[in-house]
Chain A
């Protein structure tokens, strides 16, 4: 046994008491601050649920057609979505999709500026990288407990946990994409008297878009992988069905809902990947290892 050097009990108690104090005094403030997030999620969810199913199927299949310019992907998307409907999972799937979309949109809004500042300053990168490591490795239950205590069980902590888990790859890939823009092109742009903003929007971001879109793809996938955990604290949706399946030992319920999550993942993964490929083609971008 490792010898006890200090008594950690007071430290633990201080942390717990501190959190309780924060919850008591600032809980309302936090909730108000997270209100826009909740509004975003609610708006997306209401929209998805009130839209007739055939319209959603048509829109997503159309997007798949636009993204891939072939017929294979739209067919896959069509069948994945029909599977959700046939298995009586449509409403849960829309709830899950709303959570995923809200988390992805928020992650994009937050991550891209952070990635831009990381790409420009080595110090910011040194500061942010360990935070990203922490966000990706810390078991989500660890930060779920305090978020649930602060916001109460429901959609907000679920959304926040999903964002925390799903945002890091987008930050990293934005940073990487911006930094690996061909230095010859950057130099030419500099020689023409551009200022940093003109270079960022005119050269760096357009050329980093394939990498950034790979980051968005990663973010959607990681957001979907959080849905079961998120449903434990009240996110509902497909994850909740899985959870119920476990609780009632109903293998079929868990299996169908689980396959439903896979179907959603296939739809969004393939669509975002196809868009990424199109962007690559547009700038003649090839993977460095090929």
Chain B
């Protein structure tokens, strides 16, 4: 995450060497990407990293399905097989029925779904997403974020997601690195960054952010054997999920993945966490 000019798009292009770094090294799965020859680099791009672009970068002379099948085509997969694979991913991103449309007939959100399907059809473990949702309308963007989170639960890929929107980073990130002027300012889980911003620059973002969404209840709860609560939420719930419950309940229990209660939160704890870094 970083503002424009912070070097995030340059950074992500180093990972697949669309831009050659002038210094440093890039290691993917233990191999140095910089040591690859041109041929090896092409093979690496075909098999290890896929990419989704802010401006979509779709091929306007091809249909949706041929766009999605582009990666396998470059890799040399046969016609039937790659169309079958492409159709599967088009269905996954919810674009069934648009297989033979031209990309320019689609809306921005649909086009980026094609971009996403195209990257997924590469069957790579790593996906690079460069401001993938930044060009979309807020509502569409939110829908795409939800879809990405949902997809990720079944796919479990390594996704490097670049954004200038701190809220977006908090919503979809497991770990966030904040960039400024080409240097990393802080790396950590979303709540670590919200609760303990490393410097004034990050604090500025944090001040604007909806903290109720960023902070998980598990990071502020009272752990241990406490009496069973009337109402409980799962461990990965956020403050905004529990706030409405305090209208009826004094305590809200927190459950682990097996449904056992591992702690509880009170309205006071939540309010304290939210107030901690608010503008004074």
How far is A184 from B112 in the complex, measured between Cα atoms in Å? 14
Q: Is there an interface contact between A192 and B71, defined as CB atoms closer than 8 Å?
A: yes
Residues of A within 8 A of B59 (CB): 185, 188-189, 202-203
**Residue B44 interfacial (CB < 8 Å):** yes
A207 CA to B60 CA in the complex, in Å?
Answer: 8
CA distance A179 to B174 in the complex (A): 40
Tell yes or no: A69 within 8 A of B by CB: no
Shortest Cβ gap from A211 to chain B (Å): 13
**A198 and B57 in contact (CB under 8 A), knowing A193-B45, A193-B46?**
no
Taken residue by residue from 161 to 198, chain A's Cβ proximity to chain B (1 for < 8 Å, 0 otherwise) reads as: 00000000000000000000000110111111111001
State the CA gap A102–B43 with chains docked (Å): 43
A185 and B57 contact, Cβ closer than 8 Å, known pairs A192-B46, A192-B122, A193-B44: yes
Interface 0/1 of B33-68, CB less than 8 Å to A: 000000001111111011101011111110000000
A120 at the interface (CB under 8 A from B): no
Given known A-B contacts A192-B45, A193-B46, A283 and B61 have beta carbons under 8 A apart:
yes
Across-interface contacts of A202 in B (CB, < 8 A): 59
| With A193-B42, A193-B43, A284-B104 as contacts: A184 and B55 at CB distance below 8 Å | yes
State in angstroms the CA–CA spacing of A191 and B49 once bound together.
8
Bound Cα distance from A192 to B56, whole angstroms: 13
A282 beta carbon closer than 8 Å to chain B: yes
Q: Is A146 an interface residue (CB 8 A)?
A: no
The count of chain A contact residues (Cβ–Cβ below 8 Å) is: 20
> Which residue in B46, B56, B122 is a CB contact (below 8 Å) of A184?
B56
Q: Quick check: is A85 within 8 A (CB to CB) of the other chain?
A: no
Q: CA A206 – CA B59 in complex, angstroms?
A: 10
B151 to chain A, nearest CB (A): 20
Beta-carbon nearest neighbor of B103 in chain A: A284
A134, B46: Cα distance in complex, Å: 45
Q: Per-residue CB proximity of B250-275 to A under 8 Å, as 1/0?
A: 00000000000000000000000000
Instruction: Report yes or no: A192 in contact with B53, Cβ–Cβ below 8 A.
Output: no
Residue of B nearest to A207 (CB): B61
- Contact between chains at B74 and A194 (CB < 8 Å): yes
The residues of A with any CB-CB pair to B shorter than 8 Å are 184-185, 187-195, 198, 202-203, 206-207, 282-285
**A-B complex: 6 closest residue pairs judged by Cβ atoms:** A188-B57, A193-B45, A193-B46, A284-B104, A184-B55, A191-B51
Q: Beyond the given A192-B122, A194-B74, A284-B102, could you list 6 further A-B residue pairs with CB under 8 A, ordered by the A residue number? A: A184-B57, A191-B51, A193-B45, A193-B75, A282-B61, A284-B103
16 of the cross-chain contacts (CB-CB < 8 Å) are A185-B57, A185-B58, A185-B59, A187-B53, A188-B58, A191-B57, A192-B45, A192-B51, A192-B71, A193-B41, A193-B47, A193-B75, A203-B59, A207-B61, A282-B61, A284-B102
